[in-house]
């Protein structure tokens, strides 16, 4: 008890010293506004060390930096918008919720949007999910799509029907749909992802294997075993093997041994062995 009281006294002595240090440091660099804008400008530096220094100092400024970071999300540079939304997520100040929600649903840069999605999980004031659900049907197809992707992070099943539509798109939107459907799904999703796993591009097939593993149904397991057995890409095959282990259905062990006997790629074999080991553990403990 005496030791704890001693530590408390020491902290009480150090806090004023720390505050004085921070105040002097700020005074040496002009007003807080001048300092914040200077640091925000530094976030656009090509030097990683300078950007990291700016992030740390803005984080230390905390609430004082929030209004300026909100304004920085209107910058033309998508890298600066990413940096601003990232820091607002780290700071978790709910004053930023509206602005970050706008980035998540309307920003033309996918990296800024995805970071805004993450930030919203730290800025949910209780209105984020209802507002995103309302956006699904507001008539703006781009905003509706982006809202559906964001809603997948909150497990909102209202997004699933729109995400299913994304599976017949091309390029990035299709990949986004496959990725999001690994977080939120319904009884139709596994069959739709199985079709993508069988015929999509390699990048989409890789993501479909991961999403099917998260769904973990019998249909998902069958699709993953088919991919492990016959997909031309070892990148898809090792992901399929890994997610079969993740599903945890011991009935897959015999098929895994059979597939392993014909597999030649070392990484795929490694993940088949890992899946077999995972699935064998429940048997050993019975």
Query: Crossing angle of helices 172-180/189-199, nearest 10°?
Result: 140
Residues 67-120 have pLDDT tens digits of 999 999 999 999 999 999 999 999 999 999 999 999 999 999 999 999 999 999
- 191-286 matches 26-125 in CATH topology: yes
- What is residue 282's predicted lDDT score, i.e. its pLDDT? 56
- For 53-67, write each residue's pLDDT tens digit: 999 999 999 999 999
pTM of the model: 0.85
248 three-class SS: coil
Specify the CATH number of the domain 191-286: 1.25.10.10
Architecture of the structural domain at 26-125: Alpha Horseshoe (1.25)
Spatial CA neighbour of 44 closest among 90, 78, 1, 93: 78
Domain ranges across the chain: 26-125, 132-186, 191-286
Q: Which two tokens stand for residue 135?
A: 């956006």
Cα–Cα distance for residue pair 56/35, rounded to 1 Å: 13
Q: Per residue in 218-239, is it b (16+ CB within 10 Å) or e — as a string? A: ebbbebbbebbeebebbbbbbb
Instruction: Note the pLDDT of residue 181.
Output: 98
HEC secondary structure over 8-70: HHHHHHHHHHHHHHHHHHHHCCCCHHHHHHHHHHHCCCCCHHHHHHHHHHHHHHHHHHHHHHH
| Consecutive 10-residue averages of pLDDT for the chain (286 residues) | 54 46 50 94 95 97 97 96 98 98 97 98 97 94 97 98 96 96 98 96 98 97 98 98 97 96 98 96 52
pLDDT in the model for residue 15: 45
């Amino acid at each position: 008890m005496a030791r704890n009281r001693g530590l408390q006294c020491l902290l009480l002595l150090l806090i004023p010293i720390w505050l004085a240090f921070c105040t002097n440091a700020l005074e040496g660099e002009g007003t807080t506004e001048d300092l914040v804008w200077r640091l925000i400008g530094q976030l656009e530096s090509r030097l990683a060390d300078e950007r990291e220094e700016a992030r740390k100092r803005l984080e230390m400024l905390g609430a004082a930096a929030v209004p300026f970071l909100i304004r920085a999300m209107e910058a033309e540079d998508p890298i600066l918008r990413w940096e601003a939304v990232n820091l607002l997520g780290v700071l978790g100040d709910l004053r930023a919720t509206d602005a970050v929600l706008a980035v998540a649903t309307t920003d033309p840069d996918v990296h800024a949007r995805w970071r805004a999605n993450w930030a919203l999980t730290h800025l949910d004031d209780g209105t984020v999910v209802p507002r995103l659900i309302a956006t699904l049907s507001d008539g703006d197809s781009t905003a509706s799509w982006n809202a559906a992707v964001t809603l997948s992070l909150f497990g909102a099943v209202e997004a699933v029907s729109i995400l299913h539509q994304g599976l017949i798109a091309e390029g990035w939107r299709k990949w986004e749909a496959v990725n999001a459907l690994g977080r939120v799904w319904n009884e139709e999703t596994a069959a739709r992802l199985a079709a993508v796993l069988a015929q999509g591009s390699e990048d989409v097939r890789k993501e479909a294997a991961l999403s099917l593993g998260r769904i973990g149904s019998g249909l998902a397991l069958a699709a993953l075993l088919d991919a492990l057995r016959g997909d031309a890409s070892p990148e898809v095959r090792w992901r399929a093997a890994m997610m079969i282990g993740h599903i945890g259905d011991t009935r897959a062990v015999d098929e895994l041994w059979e597939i392993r006997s014909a597999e030649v790629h070392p990484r795929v074999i490694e993940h088949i062995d890992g899946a077999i080991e995972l699935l064998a553990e429940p048997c050993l403990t019975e």
